[in-house]
Chain A
Amino acid sequence: MRAFEAFHLAIQTIRAQKLKSGFSLLGVFVGVSSLIGSCSIANGVNRYMTEKFAQTIFGVNTFQLRRRPIFTPNVPDSVWRAWQRRPRIRFSDADAVEAGLSVPVITAWQSSDNVTVSFGNKEARDIELTTASERYFDIKNLRIATGRAFTGEENRSGTPVAVLGEAVAKRLFTDRPPIGRNVRIGGIPYRVIGVVEHQGSLMGFPLDRFVVVPALSPAQNLVNPPGIVDAFLVKANSEGEMREAMAEAEGIMRSRRHLRPQQDNNFVLDTSEGVQRFWAGISRIIMIVMPGIVIVSLVIGGIVIMNIMLMAVAERTREIGLRKSLGARRRDVLQQFLAESTAIATVGAAFGIVAGIGLTVLINALSPLPASISPSSVIAGVIMGAGVGVVAGVYPATRAARLDPITALRQE
């Protein structure tokens, strides 16, 4: 009997016993859909982290000179206190680093804190105020939707002009044009000169609730003491040049801070790598926990299929006897039942794949998690589903194949 016949027969049997087959493919269904669902989340988060998150926070080929890392998960208090004791980064540090770098870079100062922005009697609270120099927009790849960014001249002269995030503009001006209007940032009057393009959200955090003003304008006092920045942003043309610039910046800072060779840096040169490492860790955890769920449901699915198949063998003993009397060899009977269990599992896996993809779409639509289908998980799902079917079918099929035709035929 050809494999095709066996599968044809299997499909016929499954169609004849829809309910029973439905139950038996449930385990594989859950296994495969959870496999694909969780892979999609891990994969999506991964891609998001490497492609978008890191770029949004840091920018491409960009490092930040800071007192402490920007992303600090699970840091012990002692380390935190040590960071707090470090000297802060000053404008003069930034200038010295910029002057000392040999590779072509663009740079910007950046300091941030949360403030309230108001227009007339309208208020937007908890807005991230960033005081920055003019290249900040280029480094962060913030495109201006209407109006313009501020200029270097405006920065140096401390002109009170502001570029709003989209959400802030909407909140304060609804549909009216915001350009040229006077707003108050933490009580200080500013003139709106531009609105940044819609940025969307990042892991559920809105990215449009900000306002950017020149670093030397009056609002700097709301964020940092005079002459102090949170970060000095340096963007190179390539990763290699960024590494070079980082090495140079480290040397410049160490000499400025008079650090002896055996002393650690009391500043950091932070890149998106740190964030990516952190998320790689998380996705590794997902990848460790997820197979557990998948394996448990596949094992349960396998056991269910095995039981259903054992029942089928018991129920169809006469049929097996008949088939053997008509010339079915052990191999034919084995093949028939293996094909049946494999078909059940594969159908379960197919439904699981559809559900997994549906789940991914749903996660994307309803949650901030950026799920994205990983093709390898779909392939793994098919292989694992069919594999479960084969493994679960071996024992029942062997029993069926070993049945003695005489006793099998006599069975009531």
Chain B
Amino acid sequence: MSTVQQFRTGDTPLPDVIILTHKLTREYDMGSELVRALRGVSVQIRQNEYVAVMGPSGSGKSTLMNLVGCLDTPTSGEYWLNGQKVSDLADDELARIRNKEIGFVFQTFNLLPRADALHNVELPLIYAGISAHQRRERAAQALQRVGLGDRMDHRPNELSGGQRQRVAIARALVNEPSILLADEPTGNLDSTTSTEIMGVFAELHRQGQTVVMVTHEHDIAANAARVITLHDGLVATDQRQAA
């Protein structure tokens, strides 16, 4: 493993650094008080890393997740994603980054209830402007990749929890994003299904996918190769572990 770059403002991240945050802060003006959710987080995540972000509630892990997911912009500091500085991009540019670079997996799956699995997986491709024919093909491939090739025309309510999360993972993967960003991906699943989903993550990681996962469960975090713990808006620990 190469040494971590000592990043300074004005630098460019090394080519294999997918995520780089530099002194990232995020403050919320709650009227009477200023909430400092992140107080200077500097993290580097390389290609094909499998990282779990942990921390008690209020530690800032959701805020970091939103920033890394380009759903929010930082108050100060830099955020580089896949070689592009995204911390000062405007709304629509961020939407494009989310579409191309990030695959979200949510705790509550967030599937469209009236659409079948295939259409749910197609969604990101619609916003990427890909033709209907290609969309269907690629969505079907993504579903096959998560082992749901035979469930494409099922609606979410015809699928089990684990299957739903697999559809969501397929949707996250369909645009071949730089990072798979999972927010408590097993939070709504029983332990057997959780293990199954962690198996999918492990396989994707093995295939070369960069995975960042926010969780508060230690045994889920144990699946990752690296665990970053946040506390009070700062990185408390950053440890590599044997998978």
A residues with a Cβ closer than 8 A to B are: 1-2, 5, 12, 16, 318-319, 321-332, 405-406, 409
Contact = CB atoms under 8 A, between A and B. Distances in A.
A330 B92 contact: yes
A222 B49 CA distance: 114
Contact of A325 (B96, B98, B100): B98
Interface stretch (B1-9, B66-74, B140-148): B66-74
Contact of A328 (B66, B100, B127): B127
B218 interface: no
A327 B95 contact: yes
A326 B123 contact: yes
A323 B96 contact: no
Nearest to A13: B114
A327 B71 contact: no
Contacts of A16: 114
Given A1-B126, A327-B175, 18 more contacts: A1-B127, A1-B129, A5-B126, A321-B110, A323-B127, A324-B98, A325-B69, A325-B104, A326-B104, A326-B123, A327-B124, A327-B128, A328-B127, A330-B91, A330-B95, A332-B95, A405-B71, A406-B71
Contacts of A405: 71
Contact of A326 (B66, B114, B127): B127
A326 B72 contact: no
B129 A328 contact: no
Nearest to B132: A5
Contacts of B100: 327
B110 A322 contact: yes
B14 interface: no
A332 B124 CA distance: 12
Contacts, number: 58
A322 B128 CA distance: 15
B106 interface: yes
Contacts of B66: 406
A90 B134 CA distance: 90
A409 B127 contact: no
A377 B171 CA distance: 47
Contact of A406 (B72, B91, B92, B128): B72
Nearest to A325: B104
A326 B121 CA distance: 10
A228 B175 CA distance: 97
A94 B18 CA distance: 106
Contacts of B127: 1, 323, 326-329, 332
Given A1-B127, A406-B66, A327 B96 contact: yes
A325 B114 contact: no
Interface string B185-204: 00000000000000000000
A319 B71 CA distance: 15
B92 A326 contact: no
Nearest to B97: A327
A199 B66 CA distance: 81
Interface string B94-121: 0110111000101000101010000000
A327 B98 contact: yes
15 contacts: A1-B126, A321-B110, A322-B123, A323-B127, A326-B99, A326-B171, A327-B98, A327-B99, A327-B128, A329-B92, A329-B95, A330-B92, A332-B127, A406-B66, A406-B71
